[in-house]
Amino acid sequence: MRYAAVGCCLLTLIACKRETREVRPSPAVSGVLGDAATESILYPGGNTVHLDVRNPYEGNAYAIYEGQRLFGWYNCTGCHANGGGGIGPPLIKKDQRDWIYGSEPSNIFDTIVKGRPNGMPTWGGKIPEYQVWQLVTYVRSLNNLESKAATPVRSDSLEQKTATILPNKNGTPRP
């Protein structure tokens, strides 16, 4: 009986995390000053072990919703369209090996904050950090990398398709 109760409590934690709506920005995780992602084990000036910074909004439905809004507001669509790309590369990857700089949350965080060669601007210092994490979660959700239960199947604007609509057998999204 006791274990069943504990089990239930643990189960609720799973859904709790997905369904909570944290409107207040979570305390800043220091990633802006350095790298969020570990690029290599070689570090100048000594061997410091650097752990990947975790996405505080992983699997959170509200963060994906905010990320979707910010994706339009901050004009990511200007280069990436609704995920299909244009001036910039598509963010809905046909093949998960197509991520140029990696698909881990810390990788995408670095991409947005530091910018990347060939046109990705540096948004660090402009977009508040917690919103960068929301964008990270949203971009990952476009590729089925976040919890399916947290990802909306469609947006309310034109021609927005996410990878979560009836994906192909091998996991790639249908066009």
Partner 1 sequence: MNQTMSQSMWHTSGSNAAHIQGLALFFGLLLGTIFVIVVGIALLSLGRRHRGIRQEPLEGSHKPSARTEAKLRTAVSIATGITLLILFGLTIVSVSVGKVVSASIAPAGSLIIEVTGTQWWWKIRYTSDDPSRILQTANEIHIPVGQPIAIRGNSIDVIHSFWVPSLQGKRDLIPGRPTLEWLQAARPGEYRGQCAEFCGLQHAHMAFWVIAEPPAQFDAWLNHQLEPVAEPTDEDTKRGQQIFLRSACVLCHAIRGTDAAAEVGPDLTHFGSRKTIAAGTLLNTKGNLAGWIADPQNIKPGTHMATVPIQPAEMQPLIDYLESLQ
Partner 2 sequence: MTPTASEQHAYADVDALRQTWSSKPSLLGWLSSVNHQEIGRRYILTAFIFLLIGGIEALLMRLQLAKPENTFLSAGHYNQIFTLHGTTMMFLFAVPVMEGMGIYLVPLMVGTRNVAFPRLNAFGYWMYLAGGLFLYGCAFFNMIPDAGWFAYPPLSGPQFSPGKGVDVWAQMITFTEVSALCVAVELIVTILKMRAPGMSLNRMPMFCWSMLVQSFMIIFAMPAVMIASTVFLLNDRTIGTHFVNPAEGGDPLLYQHVFWFFGHPEVYIIFLPALGMVSSILETHTRRQIFGYPALVLSLAGNGFIAFGLWVHHMFATGLPEIGEAYFTAASMMIAITSGVQIFCWLATLWSGRLRLTTAVHFVFGFIFIFVMGGMTGVILASIPLDLQAHDTFFVVAHFHYVLIGGALFPLFAGFHYWFPKFTGRMMDERLGKLSFWILFIGFNLTFFPMHWLGMLGMTRRVYTYIPGLGWENANLAATSGAFVILCGGLIFIANALRSRGSGERAENDPWEASTLEWEAESPPAPYNFPNLPVITSRAPLWTPASERGIVIGLRENRREILITEVLGTEPHHRSVQPAPSLWPLLTALGFSIGLTGSIFGFSWYYVASVLGMIGLVGWFWPERPLEVDP
Which residues of this chain interact with partner 2, rule CB under 8 A?
A: 11-12, 14-16, 18-21, 23, 61-62, 64-65, 68, 148-150, 152-158, 161, 165-166
Binds 18, which of partner 1, partner 2, none (CB < 5 to 8 A, cut-off by type)?
partner 2
61-73 vs 129-141: helix crossing angle, rounded to 10: 100
81 DSSP assignment: T
| Shortest Å, Cβ 129 to partner 1 | 8
Give the count of alpha carbons within 13 A of 26, CB side only: 17
Nearer to partner 1, 22 or 52 (CB): 22
116 binds partner 1, rule: CB under 8 A: no
Give the count of alpha carbons within 13 A of 150, CB side only: 31
Nearer to partner 2, 36 or 64 (CB): 64
Binds 73, which of partner 2, partner 1, none (CB < 5 to 8 A, cut-off by type)?
partner 1
Residue-by-residue DSSP string for 114-155: H-BTTTB---TTTS-HHHHHHHHHHHHHTTT-S-GGGS-SB-
> For residues 45 and 118, what is the distance between their CA atoms, to the nearest angstrom?
29
Tell me which residue of 108, 111, 133 sits closest to 56, measured CA to CA: 133
Nearer to partner 2, 21 or 126 (CB): 21
| Shortest Å, Cβ 141 to partner 2 | 11
What is the total count of residues that contact partner 1 (CB under 8 A)? Answer: 15
C-beta of residue 174 within 8 angstroms of C-beta of residue 166:
yes
Rg over CA atoms, the chain: 17
Binds 16, which of partner 2, partner 1, none (CB < 5 to 8 A, cut-off by type)?
partner 2
| Shortest Å, Cβ 170 to partner 1 | 36
β-partners of residue 120 are: 116
Residue ranges binding partner 1 (CB under 8 A): 21, 23-25, 28, 69, 72-74, 126-128, 130-131, 156
